[in-house]
Structure 1
Amino acid sequence: MIRFGLRLALSGGREAAVRLVIIAAAVALGVGMLLTTLAGMNAVDAQNQRYAWLNTAVAPAAADPTADPMWFLIRQDYFHGRSIGRVEVAALGPHAPVPPGLPRLPGPGEFYVSPALDDLLRTTPAAQLGDRFPGHRIGTMGPAALPSPDSLLILIGRTPADLEPLGARRVDQIMTTSPSDCSHGCYVGIDSDGMTLVLSVVAAALLFPVLIFIGTATRLAATRREQRFAAMRLIGATPRQISVISAVESTVAAVAGTAVGFGLFLALRPALAAIPFTGERFFTADLSLNLVDALAVAIGIPLGAVVAAWLALRRVQISPLGVTRRVTPAPPGAWRVVPLLAGVAELAYFIGRRPPTTNGQITAYLSGFVLILTGLVLAGPWLTMLGARLLAGRASRPATLIAGRRLADNPKGAFRAVSGLIVALFVTSVATGVITTYVANRGEPRTDSVAATSLSTWFPPEEGPAPTADRFPALSTIPGVRSVTLVHANPVDTPPPMEFRAGTAAYRSWWPGIITCAELERLAVFGRCAAGAQVVAVADDLIGERAWDLTNDSYVWPAADASPAQVDRQPIRSVVVDTTSRAAFEQARTMLINAFPAARFPSSTAEWESDSARQLVQFQQLANVIMLASLPIAGCSLAVSVAGGLSDRKRPFSMLRLTGAQLATLRRVVALETVVPLLTVSAVAIGIGFLAAHLFLRAQLHYTLLPPDGSFYLMVASGLAVSLGIVASTLPLLRRITGPETARND
């Protein structure tokens, strides 16, 4: 029977060949996406492991008595908005531990750099970057020391006398524990558990439409195949033999598709590694598969195809007469909306009752989202039936009536082809709604000139005596420096209670620095004084966490309890350098780092905000990828479903044409049968997604959902247009398969 099944699969004519190609293509897509997701999870773990040595300062003492200790200090620097990891070490003996990827520790006056930072040092004037790093380059770091090919890292050798006053830590081992497993609190690294969760959601959102595509392709020409298998049963074939034949057909396509899927993954792996999902791109080797991953996909996908084939033809296996005893399926019941309503009710319940722990919040919200998504899939046929009945009830043309009645008779089949859209549109709507609202309330990444070109560094009292004014005059000599401002410490060092503005997040009315109104008026770009004030309280960087409107000169700083004469007598709290160019900005930063090596490295407000903003942007890009990839796949499912439906109904359509029905009428019937469930599902999924996002925002952050900008709706419209275009490409088949010869020959 296996040989007979192979003959039917490979020599069954054009129809069998087309079915095999479509199933193989669908399986290849699914396998490629699944392998990419598994490899992505492995890549996150691999990248996170290479962050381990950078957290050496938090490692516990080593038990190896033969190791010599060393001083270890890591700090964050910036260049053109990119983060630079600056590690400084001082060995206290010849057997001090060596970080991975290096032949030895650098001595005083030596340093190793990452290849990416080495390129920057070669192409950037030394006054802007190279002069920050004492000594000379003795080599580049190997890949084992680099989380990413784009990592900007430098390992500088110093003397113990240099590092001990800077707060370095004495260690005698290099940390090898992944930041995911760091029990002491890590400085740098990835929350790999969170990334794995996100990747799992992405995988589910992408694979669901592909699985629908595979299922739809498996049912291609299902009616004709069922008739063929039923005929075999009537002449004596057993259910087991029919199962073997159908399994062979599906296995051939699944095996071919699995092989192509592995090939696609290997071919696209370098391009996939370049996607900076964690903030930095991966090494190509990071996107690897272990033996368990490869075997699970290589064996599991063909087995899944066999099960799908068995389920698709179970009526024939039970009874050979099952094909001819067809009745209209029972309409879906209203009970299908219960999980959907339960999920919405769960998210609504937690408004004002947010769980106190992170695990409790994850459980509460994730279970609500899963319930809603499950409810959408279950309620889809019922919603399709309502839309079809409404269409048929308001029909004024034959095409509308025929399409409405057919959809109402079998809403499950109509919904099945478009159900892949549910996950994509729901996930994208939730992500877009949450991210848009979060950014609007917390403030978008700075792009205005003040935030991008204003450099500040501050001097906490606990880190030593504050500098004096005579340490800063050279800054004003740099071409492109517009102003150098010293912010002095606020004599009132006890903040008042937190205050709130209605409808917005909290803000403080107390700021740690003070400045005279005469100086603030001279600067002109950092806000203005309260009416009648001579001295105002300001943020260390003259911008502050909530001063989002400084470029319009509309932010008003509160009056400080000090006179102009008292300002200069207060310790210097920070220095703010406003520049007109990036070159001046970086040169001023280099000068400040060299002048105050023990102070916090200077940076701009835009750089502080970029780290968190970058993660949000990446999540939004992932949501967009889900939608843009899923909609065309759903369109392919629709096209296959339409083509299969035309093949199964070519005789009824031919009879309609013989009785006078126009070809345009039949095309409108097919188009309406596709458009109604597609648009119904899209509208419901987007609406429920925004509702779920609103409930989550209210429960977790006390925010009200804000509508996304026009780009979201443009992407949805474009994706739907592509899907409909794919479906429209199948309509020309209608003329070819509904001619008079079809009615005569069948």
Structure 2
Amino acid sequence: MVVQWSRDLAMGAKFAFTGGREGWTRVLLTGVGVGLGVALLLLTTAIPNAMQARSDREYARMDMTYGSGVAPKADDTVLVANVDTQFRGSDIRGRQLEPEGLGAPLPPGVHKFPAPGEMVVSPALKELLESEDAALLRERLPYRITDTIDEPGLIGSAELAFYAGGEDLAPHAGSRDVVRIDTFHAQKAPSEELDPVLLLLVLTVFVVLLMPVGVFIAAAVRFGGERRDRRLAALRLVGADGRMTRRIAAGEALSGALLGLLFGIGFFLIGRQIAGSVSLFDFSVFPSYLDPTPALAVLIAVAVPGAAVAVTLLALRGVVIEPLGVVRTARPARRRLWWRLLLPLGGLALLAPMIGKGTQNGDFNEYMVTGGVVLLLVGVTALLPWVVESVVARLNSGPVSWQLAVRRLQLSSGTAARMVNGIAVAVAGAIALQMLFSGVQSAYTESTGQDLTRAQMQVSVPAGVPVADAGRQLAGTRGVRSAVALSDSSVGTSRMEPDGSTGLTVGDCAALREVAKLPSCREGDVFAVQGAEYDTETPKLAEPGTRLFIDPSYESSPGTEAAWTVPRDIKKAEPRKDPTGWERGGFLITTKALPAAAAPAVRGEIYVGIDTAVPDVREFVRNTAAEISPLADSMTYMASERSERYDSIRTGLFVGAAGVLALIGASLLVSQLEQLRERRRLLSALVAFGTRRRTLSLSVLWQTAIPVTLGLVLAAVVGLTLGSVLLKMTATPVAVDWPSVLAMTGIGAAVVLMVTALSVPPLLRLMRPDGLRTE
């Protein structure tokens, strides 16, 4: 039995590779189609390793400390200042380094410490700085580039990062921007588990992205099926029985699949190198990150050939191969609907028990979620051939091009449906995911409370920098309408570890009115804010004559501990939310009432109003902030912010969708070329009989447009159903974002239209009379 199977499979492989130009063309098309799918599968298996590699790189260069206090100065310590910035929407990671001894640790990827006035940059940042439109960024980073950061110091090939030489950072050690460390492998922050809804998003994303790949591989192994069946009929004529012909056909499919594995490895290696120079949605990797998980890679190597054999044998069950021909040109039996409905109904049955769980009623069963989504999407591939056959059977009159297309679809609707199956599955999954993301987005989006009508940016300047001067400098910046300068600190009852403390805000009267309702104000006044939210200490501390300490020291950070006595003429003020949405409590002090000894203890905050109509106004503000102090931090206000984990999953979806769309386009093009090659002689015969090329071109367009339209309609129905069920599972009200649904279907139609346009030149070449020549 095994010997017979081996002999027949070997014969099929021989036919595949020694069958002349026709055989080579078919196996090459199959190999390319399968290879594209295998490449994407390998890329998918490499994603967990890539994410882990990025996390490891981030951990290896971490310079933050978590509640461990300020390390004492030593020969093996280095001061690190956070000088992150942005440029036209792109984040730039920046650090200033000041070694305090010969044993100071170097960050990963850096060979030596840059001196003051010098910096070491990532290759991507160096390229950006050398570009013509980066003049504003060059002003902000006026350092001389001495070297580039090596790969171990970066999390991605397109990351923008730099290390600059710092000086006089010691007075700021222990602040929120400057730390003293003796290693860059800091204590790792505690990890958090995904909540049930985010886990549901991850599972659905993976299933939706991988399903089209499996569909395309299954379609690719059936390329050239009609010619193959005619060859098998010839084998029946010389004595092969039905089982033997099926095993030979399996051998041919196995050969194409194995060739596809080789192509897939090649495509993956090429794509791996290309990935190192591409950034999608601010996400980039190094080629070394993309190492497939060995177990999953072996699974792909076994599953793809096995699936090729299984699909081939399954397809031949409905074909009668006799010595005198193939009973496929006769009218086939009508497809049955009942078993095709079982697949989506089974998927709904698996998902139904989890409806209403949300995030409060337990986790979702991962296997049931995966199985349910898979069955619903596979239902698209099962229902589409029946839908296409049922509709085209009722299409009749029309122009010649229409009749040619309809007649071809009536004879072989299954082939047309297979070509569209992948795009239909992708669109159905995309619609469901879009509904799910839109539905749960509000749960992972919070209002910042920032009042964008009063300020659009905020600049924080370090202690010791005169905030009034910084405010005037920012107010004179191009595009700035207003700059409200305040200083913040805290006051407590004792120098060290005070039992009670509250906030302290310093500014002129106009600035103080931005954060509180004042009865009257003049320089020298002091106010106690009454009734601020969450403020219980101010009423206790605001007694005239109480001795307090400004910026009291805590174990984890130093303070100036300047003494201050509550004046007898202290006034009361009512709270008012500042531009950040924070309702301040504590004491408000005009500039002249602040003790001189406390000046170094306050940190400036400047609320900046800008004219957004001025191009690059935010870059002008950031440049001015950098002139005020390299440690100045600028922030852009936003009305809302989303969860980082939700955003990372969403970014992963976009990156994966881009890869799947590329696969869809390439695979559809290969499939279209295979269909045209099968019809070469027919097209040449029609041209020879006088059929206009325009008519034939239109017939090919109709032949593509009809099943695509039906597939997109079916995809929309299944996608809306799946999306509604997923939303009910998360206990979210079902709402359909119709513009997004139309956008998803439009993208699918655009991909097909582009592929059809690319197939026109080969079609015109096939419409030549010499296509009738045979060997």
- TM-score of the alignment, normalized to the shorter chain, above 0.5: yes
| Aligned with residue 540 of structure 1, among 579, 585, 591 | 579
The separation in 1 between residues aligned to 2:81 and 2:362, in whole angstroms, is 31
Q: Describe how 1:70-469 pairs up with structure 2 within 5 A.
A: 74=82, 76-87=84-95, 94-104=102-112, 112-118=120-126, 124=135, 128-130=139-141, 139-155=147-163, 157=166, 159-166=169-176, 171-175=181-185, 183-184=190-191, 200-201=206-207, 204-217=210-223, 219-234=225-240, 239=243, 242=245, 245-246=248-249, 248-277=251-280, 279-288=282-291, 301-302=304-305, 304-306=307-309, 308-309=311-312, 311-312=314-315, 328-329=332-333, 331-341=335-345, 343=347, 353-356=357-360, 359-360=363-364, 368-388=372-392, 391=394, 415-433=417-435, 454-457=456-459, 469=468
Q: CA deviation at 1:603?
A: 3.1
The separation in 2 between residues aligned to 1:344 and 1:195, in whole angstroms, is 17
Render the CA deviation track for 1:2-56: whole Å, top value 9, x for unaligned.
8865664444344334323322332333333334444555444333321113434
Structure 2 spans left out of the alignment, 5+ residues:
1-6, 69-73, 486-510, 517-528, 536-573, 595-601
- Identical amino acids, percent of aligned pairs: 21
Structure 1 counterpart of 2:515, one-letter code: A
Question: How many residue pairs align between the two structures?
Answer: 654
What residue number does 2:474 align with?
A: 475
What residue number does 1:512 align with?
A: none
The separation in 2 between residues aligned to 1:128 and 1:357, in whole angstroms, is 54
The separation in 2 between residues aligned to 1:476 and 1:171, in whole angstroms, is 37
The separation in 2 between residues aligned to 1:608 and 1:421, in whole angstroms, is 33
Q: CA deviation at 1:227?
A: 0.9
What residue number does 2:738 align with?
A: 707
User: Measured at CA, do residues 493 and 623 of structure 1 come closer, stay the same or move farther in structure 2, by a change above 3 Å?
Assistant: farther
Structure 1 counterpart of 2:111, one-letter code: P
Q: CA deviation at 1:207?
A: 1.7
The separation in 2 between residues aligned to 1:457 and 1:605, in whole angstroms, is 14
Give the 3-state SS of the residue equivalent to 2:636 in structure 1: coil
Give the 3-state SS of the residue equivalent to 1:429 in structure 2: helix
What residue number does 2:607 align with?
A: 575
Task: Note if contact 1:113-1:140 (Cα within 8 Å) is conserved in structure 2.
Answer: yes
Task: Note if contact 1:218-1:309 (Cα within 8 Å) is conserved in structure 2.
Answer: no
Q: CA deviation at 1:85?
A: 2.1
Q: CA deviation at 1:630?
A: 1.6
| Aligned with residue 630 of structure 1, among 659, 664, 679 | 664
What residue number does 1:681 align with?
A: 711
Render the CA deviation track for 1:635-686: whole Å, top value 9, x for unaligned.
6436645765898x99xx99xx99xx99999999998776544322221102
Give the 3-state SS of the residue equivalent to 1:575 in structure 2: strand
- In the alignment, does 2:532 pair up with 1:493? yes
What residue number does 1:502 align with?
A: none
User: Measured at CA, do residues 166 and 153 of structure 1 come closer, stay the same or move farther in structure 2, by a change above 3 Å?
Assistant: same
Give the 3-state SS of the residue equivalent to 1:485 in structure 2: strand
Structure 1 spans left out of the alignment, 5+ residues:
187-191, 497-534, 546-557
Task: Note if contact 1:434-1:705 (Cα within 8 Å) is conserved in structure 2.
Answer: no
RMSD: 6.0
The separation in 2 between residues aligned to 1:664 and 1:82, in whole angstroms, is 49
User: Measured at CA, do residues 439 and 425 of structure 1 come closer, stay the same or move farther in structure 2, by a change above 3 Å?
Assistant: same
Scaled by the length of structure 2, the TM-score of the pair is 0.64
Task: Note if contact 1:226-1:313 (Cα within 8 Å) is conserved in structure 2.
Answer: no
User: Measured at CA, do residues 465 and 365 of structure 1 come closer, stay the same or move farther in structure 2, by a change above 3 Å?
Assistant: farther
User: Measured at CA, do residues 673 and 594 of structure 1 come closer, stay the same or move farther in structure 2, by a change above 3 Å?
Assistant: closer
What residue number does 1:15 align with?
A: 22
Give the 3-state SS of the residue equivalent to 2:106 in structure 1: coil
Render the CA deviation track for 1:65-84: whole Å, top value 9, x for unaligned.
x9956665656432332212
Q: Which has the larger share of helix?
A: 1
The separation in 2 between residues aligned to 1:327 and 1:20, in whole angstroms, is 28
Give the 3-state SS of the residue equivalent to 1:55 in structure 2: coil
User: Measured at CA, do residues 119 and 664 of structure 1 come closer, stay the same or move farther in structure 2, by a change above 3 Å?
Assistant: closer
Render the CA deviation track for 1:321-380: whole Å, top value 9, x for unaligned.
996699944632334224424656777887764233795397786555334213323333
Task: Note if contact 1:254-1:302 (Cα within 8 Å) is conserved in structure 2.
Answer: yes
The separation in 2 between residues aligned to 1:315 and 1:411, in whole angstroms, is 14
Task: Note if contact 2:445-2:642 (Cα within 8 Å) is conserved in structure 1.
Answer: no
What residue number does 1:507 align with?
A: none
User: Measured at CA, do residues 331 and 397 of structure 1 come closer, stay the same or move farther in structure 2, by a change above 3 Å?
Assistant: farther
Give the 3-state SS of the residue equivalent to 1:456 in structure 2: strand
Task: Note if contact 1:475-1:484 (Cα within 8 Å) is conserved in structure 2.
Answer: yes
Task: Note if contact 2:427-2:745 (Cα within 8 Å) is conserved in structure 1.
Answer: no
Render the CA deviation track for 1:192-214: whole Å, top value 9, x for unaligned.
99998688457514523431431
User: Measured at CA, do residues 466 and 366 of structure 1 come closer, stay the same or move farther in structure 2, by a change above 3 Å?
Assistant: farther
Task: Note if contact 2:716-2:745 (Cα within 8 Å) is conserved in structure 1.
Answer: no
Structure 2 counterpart of 1:481, one-letter code: V
Q: Describe how 1:548-587 pairs up with structure 2 within 5 A.
A: 574-579=606-611, 581=614, 585-587=618-620
Give the 3-state SS of the residue equivalent to 2:110 in structure 1: coil
Q: Describe how 1:638-649 pairs up with structure 2 within 5 A.
A: 640=674, 644=678
Task: Note if contact 1:452-1:604 (Cα within 8 Å) is conserved in structure 2.
Answer: no
Q: CA deviation at 1:717?
A: 3.4
The separation in 2 between residues aligned to 1:334 and 1:315, in whole angstroms, is 18
- In the alignment, does 2:45 pair up with 1:31? no
Render the CA deviation track for 1:403-455: whole Å, top value 9, x for unaligned.
98997898766633432222222233334555678889999999xxx899942
Structure 2 counterpart of 1:589, one-letter code: R
The separation in 2 between residues aligned to 1:82 and 1:451, in whole angstroms, is 24
Give the 3-state SS of the residue equivalent to 2:458 in structure 1: strand
User: Measured at CA, do residues 238 and 454 of structure 1 come closer, stay the same or move farther in structure 2, by a change above 3 Å?
Assistant: closer
Give the 3-state SS of the residue equivalent to 1:354 in structure 2: coil
User: Measured at CA, do residues 264 and 627 of structure 1 come closer, stay the same or move farther in structure 2, by a change above 3 Å?
Assistant: closer
